[in-house]
Amino acid sequence: MSMATDPPARMPEASASSEQGALTRAMTDLGGAALGRPLRGWWACFAVAVLALAVGVVAVTYQLRTGIGTWGLNRSVGWAYDITNFVFWIGVGHAGTLISAILLLFRQRWRAGVSRAAETMTIIAIVCAAIFPVIHLGRPWLMLWVLPLPNSRGPLWVNFSSPLTWDVFAILTYFVVSLLFWYLGLLPDFASLSHAATGWRRRVFGLLSLGWNGSLRTWARYERTCLLLAGLATALVISVHSVVSFDFAASLVPGWHTTIFPPYFVVGAIFSGMAMVLALLVVMRRAMALQSYVTLQQLDAMCKIMLATSGLLGLAYLIETMTALYGNHGPDRFMLMLRMQGPLAAYYWAMIACNVLVPQLLWSGRVRRNRPLVFAIALLALAGMWLERFLIIVGSLQRDFLPSGWVDYLPTRIEVATLVGSFGLFLVCFLLFCRWLPVVSIAESRAGHRTRLRVADR
Amino acid sequence: MFDASTDGPSFEAFWDRSLRDGWTRRSDPAVAALHFDVSQVPSSVPATSRALGTLVLIGYPTVALLDGRQAFNPWLLELPDPVTKVTWESGASVSPATARVLGVSDGDLIRIAPARDAEWASKATADDLTVEVPIVVQPGQHDDVIAVPIGYGQRATQRFAGIGPRWLGADTSDRARVGANIAPLLARARPGEGVAPTPVRVTVVGRRRELARTQDHSWLQASGRDAWGTEASGALIRFAEAGTAPRPTQSETEPGGPDLWPDERQQLGPRWGMAIDLDACTGCSACVVACQVENNTPVVGRDEVRRHREMHWLRIDRYYLERPSGVAVAHQPMTCHQCGHAPCETVCPVLATTRSSDGLNQQIYSRCVGTRYCMNNCPFKVRRFNWFDYAHDERMENLVLNPDVTVRSRGVAEKCTFCVQRIQDARLAARLRGEEPADGDIVPACAQTCAASAITFGDLNDPHSRVRARTGDGRAYTLLEGLNLQPAITYLAMQRRDRSPDDDVDGN
Amino acid sequence: MSGHGLLATFETEAALVEAARAVDSAGHAIVDAYAPYSIEGWPALAHAEASRVGWACLSGGVLGAVGGLTLQAWTSAVSWPLDIGGKPVLAWLAFIPVAFELMVLGAAAGAGLSFLILSRLRPRWRQPGLRDTWPHDRFVLEVAAAGKCDSKLPIRCCARWVRW
């Protein structure tokens, strides 16, 4: 296709028509930051995040140089903060996939305003998570050995019976599909931004838009692709955290070897993910003046999902307790008593409070509308879910079959710094996203606007 | 030194051999003639001690250091005491009741000073004689006794006190000597009496010194189960009546229930196995050192042991059992069980641990990336991890290494190999003769060193091997049978001697 | 393709749809339309062929699953069979998770790549054709025309002619 022969006649400026006004407003509201509009308080947040990241980078560098012994692990507790953080971050990522995939399939319109932020959070959370299985290796420089690559050692492949190998494939797939989904969602926005921008931004956004021209043929194909990917991502919401839970369920450590883990982990993942999305959106909404895009109804709906998953988690905890008491099976009862009264009992009761008791406040509509309170509940939920994973991993490893192997575990400063660093990385990436990309899908908010118009027409 | 009757006729040959080996064999007829006379043992607790309101200090030689002549050997400094399981330390053992009275627990520092009325210590010197040692609460001990090992705290042990990896979190406060020397405190013994019990005053310092201890949890119920009843099936330590009937054949004792996988393996060659007689085992721990020497296992130092990172491939678990007659101690040597259904193999993502054709669970160091999943999934917790680069480049130190065994680098897991280097040596030698190794040709370092012959090693597939015969013994049992691990180590239950009607029913 | 076309710009979606219907019923071919968001029912309106993305997705999924199973079976049982924890070398149950994940990966790659290829989307420094005039806040209809200035087109709008 060649350029138009006539110089394009300048279109009359946007009329007073409300539809067009809304379209332009979406562009300026959401694309503003990407086009260079300064964000209030951004630099302060970014500085804090970079500091946290720097702490983590120093700790990890030191650990990689010196050895994994700089962590508090020992002969019985082979995993602690590392895998706890890994499972925690992977779980946090699940909310994005849930919102963009499952809620898309269920035609939950409210997801439009929050899906971009949630999907971005997913990608960043997967990156934060994937760091830990790499740095937790004794010899991280050999990490590619977990892939079945042709090699110079003869036909030496990988062990496909190992849940860790399953993990590698699950996480890779999850990352690729999430990235694809996220990028496809950004395509029309890149085109819009490129159109509205000038200078180098126009070039870069143009390059990223892959030549998107808004053709309705492409749009139709695009919607179909998104629907297919949503279906696939739905399978991932269920499968990825199930596979992660196999790391534990497929082992024979008492406290790990439990059939309830896959659903239990998936529910927990969605719970913690929703908490993270809520915490981020409550802040973003205010800091970036997104009140007309991220509405109170949307926050309300997410609070309800949190409440529901909190209930499911409570049920899972209850079932664990019931099975142990009812089954009268030594190891099960032992693990139960250990959790409730053992060296980590304080963690257990804190977890119950954060994950089950506190979220019950969300039954009240007044609480759900109280944004600072929702923010606090979300943070507590995140802490509770981290504790849950820590309890499962460390609590079980430090008391297994032979009492002679029972030892306690204390983290070192290096480990704590690594956790801080992972939050730093998450915030740095997320703040960069807020600064450079539209935090609410421009295209979807336009489509949403159209829907509202139609409803009004009727 | 040279004795033609035992060393052969040629002095030249004896000289060359001695130079090559670095040692000679000497038999001392005086040792063989010694006998033990119980009546000569002095009463360790003088009747007056209670009246004095003080504790009685007993200095005892440890298995590792004896009277202190071995205090310059890091292997022995890191060897856990057979009963207290403490390393790198001269801890003061007191009974639980005394610990309660003093208000102390494991690791609390106490100061031991001569009792006021000790005739040999003037008031002026009493303070100089004070010794600070950490408490070790020792079940079964007499309430009036405080027992501290002798031979520790020698000046030249300074260079071992700080052994271990250097890093940010390493405990660097510990650069003094290994342990404390209590010799000046001990009352002069009468000739021929050895070390005499000494009345002492004990004060609590109020500081702590975390013990470097290899086992923290030690109580089993009378049935051999631990306090929580955790083991999957059967007891960890079992007891047998004398004259127990022979065990049914192997196939009948295999755990029932369907297997998820059909066992398609055809084991044509040998399957190496071990039988350990718990009755014979005294817990002396010679096997632990032998294993460490044979297999180039590093000494990691006090701080690393405190972090539960000792590298011993073979350890001896010590359990206390509450008996009507008092506290009983059971020792259980514990090493890799070379499981037929090894949980560690299944979970390794990079195939760094697999099963060999002769039934060994082999660890391939060069392939290991260090996920530690194998360690987590090992129900016996016998796998060890190289948290740091423990191996040194020191030429002198490397002279003690066994050239037949790989030195492991940082970041890989390791564990007992059943001394695979000896197995291969013996098989090679036998093959050169055109035959298979005979039963008893292969002796792992632990079995070779065991003075009580508690460890029998051999081929489980050989119907005539001694180890096979022992697995058919009436006392034979394997650990954690419910997990269907098919371990290659069989334990022989302890014969019960102190059985009384009050005792609990046994787990066997 | 060669010929002439008309680009007609509208301010609302409704106007675009109305014009498209009129153009269609007058027998003119709708080449394409451009909009800031997807319009429901457009493919039927423009007589667009069914998308092949679904087939690509299915093929990718089948390829991923079969490839995954083959990879696992071949590396475990043929290339170097090893005794792992006493399991048979063809431990089918253990192969399910990886095969499933590779199926999802294959299906997603099939859908994503086929979408990009069919839509001719790729990174380019110079944006082609309509790129510069694509209105992110307007609706454009592109109609094929037999000759220049076919004034019989039944639409009223701001329009201009383009030549392919």
* DSSP structure string for A144-162: GGGS----TTSS----TT-
How far is residue B276's CA from residue B473's CA, in Å, rounded to a whole number? Answer: 12
Model ipTM value: 0.87
Give the pLDDT of residue A129: 94
C76: containing domain: 53-118
Give the pLDDT of residue A315: 93
Which residue of B271, B345, B356 is the best one to mutate when testing the C interface, meaning the one whose CB has the most C CBs within 10 A?
A: B345
Residue of C nearest to B350 (CA): C84
How far is residue B445's CA from residue B448's CA, in Å, rounded to a whole number? Answer: 5
Determine the length of chain A.
Answer: 458
| CB within 8 Å of chain B, chain A residues 129-188 | 133, 136-140, 142-143, 145-146, 156-159, 161-165, 168
Q: Is the pLDDT of residue B345 over 90?
A: yes
Alpha helices in A211-295 (DSSP H): 216-249, 261-287
Q: How, if at all, do strands B272-277 and B92-94 pair? A: unpaired
Give the pLDDT of residue A201: 84
Q: Is the pLDDT of residue B232 over 70?
A: no
At residue C8, what is the residue type? Answer: A
Residue C21: count other Cβ atoms within 10 Å of its Cβ: 13
| CB within 8 Å of chain B, chain A residues 220-279 | 247, 250-254
A158 touches chain C (CB under 8 A): yes
Is B459 or C125 the better-scoring residue by pLDDT?
A: B459
Residue of B nearest to A254 (CA): B230
* Axis crossing angle, helix C53-73 with helix A216-249, rounded to the nearest 10: 30
Is A59 or B177 the better-scoring residue by pLDDT?
A: A59
Which chains form contacts with chain A, at 3 or more CB pairs under 8 Å? B, C
Q: Structurally, how many domains does chain C consist of?
A: 1
Query: A177 with A185: CB under 8 angstroms?
Result: no
- Cβ–Cβ below 8 Å for A404 and B375: no
Q: Is the pLDDT of residue B497 over 80?
A: no
Q: Which CATH code for domain B219-251+268-495?
A: 3.30.70.20
pLDDT along chain A (458 residues), means of 10: 35 44 66 72 91 96 92 93 94 85 76 84 94 94 89 81 94 93 89 81 86 82 88 89 92 87 91 92 84 81 91 92 79 80 89 93 89 93 94 89 87 94 95 88 71 41
Write the CB contacts of C27 (distance below 8 Å, at least 6 apart in sequence).
none
Please list every residue in chain A whose beta carbon sits closer than 8 Å to the beta carbon of residue C132: 3, 8
Band of residue C22 on the pLDDT scale cut at 50, 70, 90: confident
Q: How, if at all, do strands B353-355 and B361-363 pair? A: antiparallel
Give the pLDDT of residue B504: 44
Q: Which of A4, A161, A444 has the CB atom closest to C162's CB atom?
A: A4
* HSE-up (13 A, CA, CB side) for residue B78: 29
A340 touches chain B (CB under 8 A): no
Average pLDDT (B462-490) is: 87
* Inside any domain, residue C152: no
Cβ-count burial of A38 within 10 angstroms (0-12 exposed, 13-18 middle, 19+ buried)? exposed
Give the pLDDT of residue B238: 78
Q: What's the gap in Å between the CA of B11 and the closest CA on chain A? A: 50
Structure tokens at B229: 């009843």
The percent of residues above 70 in pLDDT, for chain C, comes to: 77
Question: B51-213 domain in CATH 3.40.190.10?
Answer: no
Residue of B nearest to A250 (CA): B347
Give the pLDDT of residue A98: 83
Band of residue C134 on the pLDDT scale cut at 50, 70, 90: low
* Axis crossing angle, helix A81-97 with helix A261-287, rounded to the nearest 10: 70
C162 touches chain A (CB under 8 A): yes
The tokens 């073979």 sit on which residue? B314
For the CA atoms of C75, C78, C80, C81, the dihedral, rounded to the nearest 10 degrees, stands at 100
Give the closest residue to B215 by CA, choosing from B129, B133, B331, B325. Answer: B331
How far is residue B427's CA from residue A378's CA, in Å, rounded to a whole number? Answer: 65
Query: B232 with B483: CB under 8 angstroms?
Result: yes
Band of residue B495 on the pLDDT scale cut at 50, 70, 90: confident
Give the pLDDT of residue B149: 92
As a whole number, the mean pLDDT across chain C is 78
- Sequence spans of domains, chain B: 51-213, 219-251+268-495
Write the CB contacts of B35 (distance below 8 Å, at least 6 apart in sequence).
none
Helix (H, G, I), strand (E, B) or coil at B333: strand
Give the pLDDT of residue B175: 65
Q: What's the gap in Å between the CA of B354 and the closest CA on chain C? A: 5
Is B32 or C45 the better-scoring residue by pLDDT?
A: C45
Which chains form contacts with chain C, at 3 or more CB pairs under 8 Å? A, B
As a whole number, the mean pLDDT across chain B is 81
How far is residue A16's CA from residue A217's CA, in Å, rounded to a whole number? Answer: 29
Is A92 or C39 the better-scoring residue by pLDDT?
A: A92
Q: What is the DSSP letter of B497?
A: S
A401 touches chain B (CB under 8 A): yes
Band of residue B420 on the pLDDT scale cut at 50, 70, 90: very high
Query: In A183-320, where do the E strands start and end?
Result: none
Least confident of B116-125, B441-450, B473-482: B116-125
Least confident of A242-256, B76-90, B110-124, B312-326: B110-124
List, for residues B27-69, the tens digit of each pLDDT value: 666 666 667 676 665 555 554 444 445 788 888 889 999 888 8
* Domains B51-213 and B219-251+268-495 equal at CATH topology level: no
